[in-house]
Amino acid sequence: MDKYHQLIKFIRNAYSTPEAFIPLHEPRFSGNEKAYVADAIDSTFVSSVGEYVNRFEQMMCDITGAKYAIATVNGTSALHVALQLAGVEKGDEVITQALSFIATANAINYTGARPVFLDVDRHTMGLSPVTLELWLKKNVELKEVKAGSSQSNTQSQPFNKITGRRIAAIVPMHTFGHPVELDDIIEIANRYNIPVVEDAAESLGSYYKNEHTGTRGILGAFSFNGNKTVTCGGGGAIVTNDEKLARIAKHITTTAKVPHPYEYTHDMVGYNYRMPNLNAALACAQLENLKDFVINKRNWANKLEQFCQNHELDFIKEPGNTKSNYWLNAICLKNRDERDKVLKLLNKEGVMCRPIWTLLYKMPMYADCFRDEQTNAQWLEDRIVNIPSSVI
């Protein structure tokens, strides 16, 4: 039996599933989910107003350490609003990574800005600070731009020397829950006066130097999609330590409605992005189990790592100075041919696995975006396979 058939057997034994299909990542409902959802239904507050929405936001603050959390309908809407609050405008550019889920680029596009795709590090699979600094030195210049109503009040802002567009934000994404090198990215960003918005969609329960992901940038965005560590079917959250940004975030995600007992007045262009109470009820019950879920997933990752060491497979481990939630476990294969053979074998045998995402600049709507050579991103695209990662 070759090592990949042994891997199949190992996974089936771990999940006590000798024959049936094993999904990549399915939710676990083992706590108060049914009770809280039933309570929300009984309250009749099933839309965007209700006790569980407020409770969810407080729980997110408690878990992440952020001062403020704003519940949204999904992670993409959370990132969209976070970028808008960071000051991203139509015609700007936003630096991010091509090795990411499509939502990262889509959220940038929703603001009217265009993504700039820079390479990743192999050990984090996230935005490389070395690449970031080299690209900024080569392609960006700081210009004094009028700020506010006073002609004498100016601020230094970064512009792409080639396109002439303002660089309005940097969006690192914590791939599969593994934190990027945040210290270096933020230090570089500060030198160029560029705000950092963390795409923490996959990293609830992950820490960089004992600080929760999503809290080091000026804003962070999380996802609670059906395949995430904690889910409420859909759902997202914005976190920040800035009171003003938090207040505006809550306002514009609730259609920018001015509070009034019965009149409908709106003072900004807002969005119907508020998480419904019904989803929040499910999310609150899931968040109660987050700590146990992460412990379970890390234990499973440790077992997979040991198996891989014994069978000459390259398991993707958490980077140094981090604690990953190991949302999706991954192995790195020798080349694209081997990757494709493993994908075909495991899926044929009923053990779901998938490749990493197709690089975003290869999508037709982003093919004309500015990018670098993507050496590491392409190397990873050719080799990474995700394997079952559900809580056991």
Please give the pLDDT value at position 150: 55
Tell me the DSSP string of 237-251: EEEES-HHHHHHHHH
Residue 177 is given by DSSP the state: G
For residue 157, the cross-strand partners are 143
Alpha carbons 382 and 167: distance in angstroms, whole number = 30
Q: What is the DSSP letter of 142?
A: E
Task: Find, among 309, 136, 96, the residue nearest to 217 by Cα.
Answer: 96
- pLDDT at position 149, please? 56
Please choose, from the candidates 74, 60, 67, the residue with its C-alpha nearest in 3D space to the C-alpha of residue 271: 74
Q: What is the pLDDT of residue 347?
A: 98
Q: Is 332 helix (H, G, I), strand (E, B) or coil?
A: strand
Residue 284 dihedral angles phi and psi, to the nearest 5°: -60, -45
Report d(CA 134, CA 325) in Å as an integer.
30
d(CA 227, CA 238): 19
Q: Which CATH number fits domain 3-28+290-359+370-387: 3.30.750.24, 3.90.1150.10, 3.40.35.10, 1.20.144.10?
A: 3.90.1150.10
Give the pLDDT confidence of 58-84 residue by residue, as tens digits. Answer: 999 999 999 999 999 999 999 999 999
| Each residue's pLDDT expressed in tens, for the chain with a length of 392 residues | 699 999 999 999 999 999 999 999 999 999 999 999 999 999 999 998 899 999 999 999 999 999 999 999 999 999 999 999 999 999 999 999 999 999 999 999 999 999 999 999 999 999 999 999 999 999 999 999 887 655 567 889 999 999 999 999 999 999 999 999 999 999 999 999 999 999 999 999 999 999 999 999 999 999 999 999 999 999 999 999 999 999 999 999 999 999 999 999 999 999 999 999 999 999 999 999 999 999 999 999 999 999 999 999 999 999 999 999 999 999 999 999 999 999 999 999 999 999 999 999 999 999 999 999 999 999 999 999 999 999 99
Distance of CA 288 to the CA centre of its chain: 21
Write down the domain spans for the chain.
3-28+290-359+370-387, 33-289
Q: Bridge-partner residues for 170, per DSSP?
A: 95, 196
298: which residues sit within 8 A by CB, 6+ positions away?
A: 324, 325, 326
Instruction: Tell me which CATH code domain 33-289 carries.
Output: 3.40.640.10
Nearest-5° angle of CA 337, CA 342, CA 347?
135
Tokens of 319: 């980077």
Inter-residue long-range contacts of 184-191, CB under 8 Å, 24+ positions, other chains counted: 184/129, 185/127, 185/129, 185/132, 186/216, 186/217, 188/129, 188/132, 188/133, 188/136
Q: What is the H or E stretch that residue 146 is in? A: strand 140-146
List, for residues 9-42, the tens digit of each pLDDT value. 999 999 999 999 999 999 999 999 999 999 999 9
Per-residue burial over 221-232, b if 16 or more Cβ lie within 10 Å, else e, is: bbbbbebbbbbb
Q: How far apart are CA 47 and CA 340, in angstroms?
A: 44
Task: Please report the pLDDT score of residue 153 as a whole number.
Answer: 76
pLDDT at 147: 74
Q: In whole angstroms, what is the distance from residue 290 CA to residue 16 CA?
A: 23
Evaluate whether 273 touches 72 at the Cβ level (below 8 Å): yes
- Give the pLDDT score at 146: 81
User: Model confidence over 239-293: pLDDT tens digits?
Assistant: 999 999 999 999 999 999 999 999 999 999 999 999 999 999 999 999 999 999 9
* pLDDT value for 154: 81
